[in-house]
Structure 1
Amino acid sequence: MVFEEKGIPNGEPEDEEEEEEEEDMVDPLDTVRDKCAQAEHCIHTRAKLEDCESRVGSKSETAEDCTEELFDFLHARDHCHPETDTSLILSLSLAELSKQLKGGTLTPEAVFHSYVEKTLEVNRRLNCCTEVLLESWDQLEDIGSHKDGLLYGVPVSIKENIGYKGHDSTCGVICKLDLPATGDSVLVEVLKRQGAIPFVKTNVPQSLLSYDCGNPIYGLTLNPHNPQKTPGGSSGGEGALIGGGGSVLGMGSDIGGSIRIPSSFCGICGFKPTANRLSSRGASSCSRGQKSVLSSFGPMARDVDGLALCMQALLCDHMFRLDPTVPPIPFNQQVYQRSKPLRIGYYENDGYAMPSPSMGRALRETKALLESAGHTLVPFSLPRLSYAMHELVLRGFSGDGCATMLSNLKGGPVDPSLRVQIIPYGLPRTVKKILSILIKPIFPRIGASMESLCGASSVQDLWRQHADVEDYMHEVMAEWRRCELDVLLCPMMGPAYNHNYPGKLTSAVSYTIMYNLLNFPAGVVPVSKVTAEDEEELRHYKGNYGDLWDKLYRKAVTGGEGLPVAVQCVALPWQDELCLRFMREVERLFREKKK
């Protein structure tokens, strides 16, 4: 079933002849399944039309009817089972929910129906979901055989690009429509083995290479705290759904901050593990083969313990057997539970993109709390950050001259949120170089970025770039060792941007994408909210460069009073449990501060 899209007109409903059946012979769930099948068939039929505007711009009212039927079915079920306390179920953390499911205090059926109903409600407001996975109802019927699983009975939402048998993983691009997965991805298989119930797919930005969240197929997703703001991306549907209360646990992917940014914008916790700590087998991508900046799959949840429980469940023998390329390293609970003081590096401004006032304040407040708790805080800075952003990140992403990304956008409309971002991508290499020469004297950062979009000039040049990435990783780790750090505290992008600004501000991802380049595990924890004082200070924001990007940034985050603000926690490669332990410490200190 595909949900009704906000801002996209519905098509005219087709006349249907209803078969006469005796009312006591009709199963409401079967009716829902039939309606959903009809809706999906209708949408896929439309998606095959030659006119792309028609393919993505018209929706059958059958899809909306299907949503309403499912909503009514769940309401009817609640009336039949008034003992179900939906509000209590939805208020529980993942750890508490799991404990009550295993103890029998709650049934998987009650939990599942509560979350499906809440998801439908949240989606009506935010357009954060792409389809309900109707197979989850069948899995629910057989859930008793997985009672020993660490996630027994837990409904889980999954990002649209994560493969689920029989369903598309479009990444928001037309060329991937009508290519349903022939089998479950490894992550989905392991989630099911651990007793979790993947029940809904969530929206993404077109191509996944953006931190907005809109595409021509499923429409625009809104922020749960303010509909005028983006939920972030590319795991934006996940952030919006969890932040809006419609899911307790979700799975996302992160190639430049795509888990961390929506987690920050939506006020939840998110974790990007070391690349290949979790399997990516069976997931869809628009940048497959790019190796300079690595992608990771990871969990998103309301609290850090939820992230850790998910990692513990996924890092099991079943995943290691399904994907032997994943190092067989189980979750180290002992490291996660440690409480000894840490030696923590920190920086407030990376020198490339000046943080917003609320970002800087959140960092300073977190630093003060950590110091008062007995941890040692040490100033730290990433060496040669401008070089790393231009020569390693941007040139690596554009190694093929942006040809792969552009090829995925052929045959269909480009979403408004991505349009500005890709304008320079399609320019001839010579034009990019000329523009770079002209722009650099006036706007050095923008000019250098334009030159980087030329990509590699040859295979030899690409290999040299890969070697430079390795050298830079060791340079950063040498500085880390010199400072004798355990972990690193740094600002996290935020608050949530106004719609359509992320495509104009790729510069701001320096705070997140560096840890994809370095392959360091990183996670975010919400610690504060934007204040009126932050907004007043923002009026005087000049940035580090005073260029067009700095001016756009001030406009992007204006109007954020009351929105969540987070900090970012980082560790060295394969020290994922230590990173989570640091995140849990930050979370604990702010919870105690509120008491």
Structure 2
Amino acid sequence: MVPDELWPALSGASGAALVCCFVAAAVALRWSGRRSARGAAARARQRQRAGLENMDKAAQRFRLQNPDLDSEALLALPLPQLVQKLQSGELSPEAALFTYVGKAWEVNKGINCVTSYLADCETQLSQAPRHGLLYGVPLSLKECFSYKGHDSTLGLSLNEGVPAECDSVVVQVLKLQGAVPFVHTNIPQSMFSYDCSNPLFGQTLNPWKSSKSPGGSSGGEGALIGSGGSPLGLGTDIGGSIRFPSAFCGICGLKPTGNRLSKSGLKGCVYGQVAVQLSVGPMARDVESLALCLRALLCEDMFRLDPTVPPVPFREEVYTSSRPLRVGYYETDNYTMPSPAMKRALLETKQSLEAAGHTLVPFLPSNIPYALETLSSGGLFSDGGHSFLQNFKGDFVDPCLGDLILVLKLPSWLRGLLAFLLKPLFPRMASFLSSMRPRSAGKLWELQHKIEVYRNSVIAQWKALDLDVLLTPMLGPALNLNAAGRATGAISYTVLYNCLDFPAGVVPVTTVTAEDEAQMEHYKGHFGDIWDKMLKKAMKNSVGLPVAVQCVALPWQEEMCLRFMREVEQLMTPEKRPS
């Protein structure tokens, strides 16, 4: 309300002047915010450059002191063999660390995957416990893992210059197991994208083809490991963020059940959202490396440092079992049409599994559109995106986010109206928009209950067929840069298993052929809408790029999931390194 005595002051020239003052103040605040964001980007890039220079110097110094070391042979060692040689003393931890530091520096020049050099890795070498399962193993970390003395910016200017006070729990545990963290790797701004770019550190490129995305949000990890710059990394996954970069970059990755590994000390954009579970998981060149990492993490140290994690150690007997499996499978989820290469990858894997003595059974989780459009989208944005938007005040918005920020800034009523208008032509987009409106506490509880009911219904379907595991397509090949934000529906194969909270991993099984590329011309999608058209365009020109399949198990059955992944890998492993 404006008091009556103020109305004369707001009329005529004085009123116009006051309006001009308000507008000028708003412009000044916006300019000040952008200036602050530019400063944050400049400081972040400077620290990145300084860290890379230190990496180069450290690697060169070690090479000069050890001219006879066969770096190529060391880099070619699978992780289990590297660990064996480190523990036996045949290789020194210094040799492993500085060889990988040099390789990471070299590949980063072409793909921009490293954001920070964790320089205390050089002193960490002398502290690494020799009895640890990962003694002397160089380890890369997605930038969201807190590391004492280093920023976890998430590509946002408000987090620049705010170093962590302590390591996240999983980092502490891996250090106690002898691992040596040496770099932070790049992420998309806010981590709500399956591309990998932000205003602070720029775009990370796919090591197989620079015009393609490495995936996200653990894209820096995928690119670094896929190009041979790290033997083992940690990522996070809330919609496919481990699985997309693993598939796009030709490596293996596992998304465990949400609370199997500690999330304490992770930096995030939104806290308290539990409807759709975030997971911490390993990424590596092969499945045995993932299993080794999980063995190391599922130990008394983690259960002591984070008592909220179930104290269940790695179940070796499940992972090493060789009994034939009963495998469910589907060729399409009827939401995202698989590319020709995806379909071939799935069918060839199915045939190989059958030839090896496993039983394959058709299986499709019920009501997938409902799980995606109502449950997953509604759970992730149950406050209408309000908490998420707080991270962007005064900041630049990276193109990899597409129109997400614009949509979330719309008033709730306008979002609802837009959903109504779009529904006849673009029903998928309309459903997502509708579910992203803010909810009351009562409606949120109702949504969370619906997720529980849906999860139980899929488990009942699964048990009715007596399945051990599930084989599904995995989105691929890698998309063009900046396409992910305009092909939202393509997360369907991954986000479903975040909603269900099932462990899921990806294994590369083939590469795109010229025949696959030719067949892509006939790709229509299941809906023929904007998302399908963008996906078709984004997956073209991909001959030679890796394609994966996804392996899924029931909650808390990570060992079974890994056992199935290992079986697929042994039957199907293609060349996993970019030429």
How does the TM-score come out when normalised to structure 2?
0.92
Whether contact under 8 Å (2:52, 2:117) holds in the other structure is no
Structure 2 counterpart SS, 1:488: strand
TM superposition shift of 1:441: 1.3
Kindly provide the CA deviation profile for residues 308-330 of structure 1, in whole angstroms up to 9, marking residues without a partner as x.
00000000000000000000000
Of 337, 342, 351, the match for 1:354? 337
Q: Say if 2:569 is the partner of 1:581.
A: no
Q: Give the letter aligned to residue 234 of structure 1.
A: S
**Take 2:549 and 2:211, find their aligned partners in 1: how far apart are those partners?**
23
Q: 1:179 — aligned with what? A: 162
Q: Say if 2:311 is the partner of 1:328.
A: yes
Q: 2:182 — aligned with what? A: 199
TM superposition shift of 1:66: 5.7
Q: 1:424 — aligned with what? A: 407
Whether contact under 8 Å (1:164, 1:188) holds in the other structure is yes
TM superposition shift of 1:83: 2.2
TM superposition shift of 1:54: 3.6
Q: Give the letter aligned to residue 361 of structure 2.
A: V
> Residues 65 and 402 of structure 1: is their aligned pair in 2 closer, same or farther, counting only changes over 3 Å?
closer
Kindly provide the CA deviation profile for residues 165-212 of structure 1, in whole angstroms up to 9, marking residues without a partner as x.
111111111122222111111011001000000110000000011111
**Take 1:578 and 1:364, find their aligned partners in 2: how far apart are those partners?**
21
Q: 2:448 — aligned with what? A: 466
Q: 2:96 — aligned with what? A: 111
Q: Give the letter aligned to residue 122 of structure 1.
A: V
Kindly provide the CA deviation profile for residues 559-591 of structure 1, in whole angstroms up to 9, marking residues without a partner as x.
111000000000000011000000000001124
Of 272, 283, 286, the match for 1:289? 272
> Residues 164 and 538 of structure 1: is their aligned pair in 2 closer, same or farther, counting only changes over 3 Å?
same
Aligned pairs for 1:255-270 (under 5 A) are: 255-270=238-253
Q: Give the letter aligned to residue 538 of structure 2.
A: A
Q: 1:274 — aligned with what? A: 257
Q: Say if 2:205 is the partner of 1:222.
A: yes
**Take 2:324 and 2:90, find their aligned partners in 1: how far apart are those partners?**
37
Structure 2 counterpart SS, 1:207: helix
Whether contact under 8 Å (1:159, 1:235) holds in the other structure is yes
Whether contact under 8 Å (2:326, 2:467) holds in the other structure is yes
Q: 1:505 — aligned with what? A: 487
Whether contact under 8 Å (2:196, 2:219) holds in the other structure is yes
Q: Say if 2:385 is the partner of 1:402.
A: yes
**Take 2:189 and 2:51, find their aligned partners in 1: how far apart are those partners?**
25
Q: 2:26 — aligned with what? A: none
> Residues 473 and 65 of structure 1: is their aligned pair in 2 closer, same or farther, counting only changes over 3 Å?
closer
**Take 1:591 and 1:447, find their aligned partners in 2: how far apart are those partners?**
40
**Take 1:69 and 1:202, find their aligned partners in 2: how far apart are those partners?**
16
Q: Say if 2:122 is the partner of 1:137.
A: yes
Q: What value does the CA root-mean-square deviation take over the aligned residues?
A: 1.8
Q: Say if 2:71 is the partner of 1:71.
A: no
Of 321, 325, 342, the match for 1:342? 325
Whether contact under 8 Å (1:421, 1:504) holds in the other structure is no
Q: Give the letter aligned to residue 247 of structure 1.
A: S
Kindly provide the CA deviation profile for residues 394-437 of structure 1, in whole angstroms up to 9, marking residues without a partner as x.
11111000111111111211111114233211111111111111
Q: 1:24 — aligned with what? A: none
Of 417, 428, 437, the match for 1:454? 437
Q: 2:537 — aligned with what? A: 555
Of 515, 531, 538, the match for 2:520? 538
Whether contact under 8 Å (1:57, 1:216) holds in the other structure is no
Kindly provide the CA deviation profile for residues 330-369 of structure 1, in whole angstroms up to 9, marking residues without a partner as x.
0011110001100000001101111111111100000000
Q: Say if 2:113 is the partner of 1:128.
A: yes
Structure 2 counterpart SS, 1:516: helix
Kindly provide the CA deviation profile for residues 215-261 of structure 1, in whole angstroms up to 9, marking residues without a partner as x.
11111100000010010000000000000110000000000000000
How many residues align? The count is: 545
Of 327, 344, 350, the match for 1:367? 350
Whether contact under 8 Å (2:48, 2:115) holds in the other structure is no
Q: Give the letter aligned to residue 550 of structure 1.
A: D
% same residue: 53
**Take 1:364 and 1:71, find their aligned partners in 2: how far apart are those partners?**
45
**Take 1:77 and 1:296, find their aligned partners in 2: how far apart are those partners?**
37
Of 153, 165, 168, the match for 2:136? 153
Unaligned 5+ runs, structure 1: 1-46
Whether contact under 8 Å (2:509, 2:574) holds in the other structure is no
Unaligned 5+ runs, structure 2: 1-31
TM superposition shift of 1:76: 3.6
Between 1:436-445 and 1:93-102, the stretch displaced more is 436-445
**Take 2:574 and 2:533, find their aligned partners in 1: how far apart are those partners?**
37
Q: 2:302 — aligned with what? A: 319
Between 1:255-264 and 1:582-591, the stretch displaced more is 582-591
Of 380, 384, 397, the match for 1:414? 397
Structure 2 counterpart SS, 1:199: strand
Q: 2:37 — aligned with what? A: 52
Q: Say if 2:212 is the partner of 1:250.
A: no
Kindly provide the CA deviation profile for residues 503-525 of structure 1, in whole angstroms up to 9, marking residues without a partner as x.
11111101000100000000000
Structure 1 counterpart SS, 2:403: helix
Structure 2 counterpart SS, 1:566: strand
Q: Give the letter aligned to residue 115 of structure 2.
A: T
> Residues 312 and 62 of structure 1: is their aligned pair in 2 closer, same or farther, counting only changes over 3 Å?
closer
Q: Give the letter aligned to residue 475 of structure 1.
A: S
Q: Give the letter aligned to residue 415 of structure 2.
A: K
**Take 1:74 and 1:479, find their aligned partners in 2: how far apart are those partners?**
54
Kindly provide the CA deviation profile for residues 243-285 of structure 1, in whole angstroms up to 9, marking residues without a partner as x.
0110000000000000000000000000001111100001101
Whether contact under 8 Å (1:523, 1:579) holds in the other structure is yes
Q: 2:418 — aligned with what? A: 435
> Residues 592 and 207 of structure 1: is their aligned pair in 2 closer, same or farther, counting only changes over 3 Å?
closer
**Take 1:374 and 1:580, find their aligned partners in 2: how far apart are those partners?**
18
Q: Say if 2:500 is the partner of 1:518.
A: yes
Q: 1:92 — aligned with what? A: 77
Whether contact under 8 Å (1:424, 1:432) holds in the other structure is yes
Of 529, 538, 550, the match for 1:568? 550
How does the TM-score come out when normalised to structure 1?
0.89
**Take 1:493 and 1:418, find their aligned partners in 2: how far apart are those partners?**
18
TM superposition shift of 1:53: 2.5
> Residues 159 and 213 of structure 1: is their aligned pair in 2 closer, same or farther, counting only changes over 3 Å?
same
Q: 2:65 — aligned with what? A: 80
Aligned pairs for 1:469-484 (under 5 A) are: 469-484=451-466
Of 241, 263, 266, the match for 2:224? 241
Q: 2:18 — aligned with what? A: none
**Take 2:323 and 2:47, find their aligned partners in 1: how far apart are those partners?**
58
Whether contact under 8 Å (1:529, 1:563) holds in the other structure is yes
TM superposition shift of 1:60: 7.1
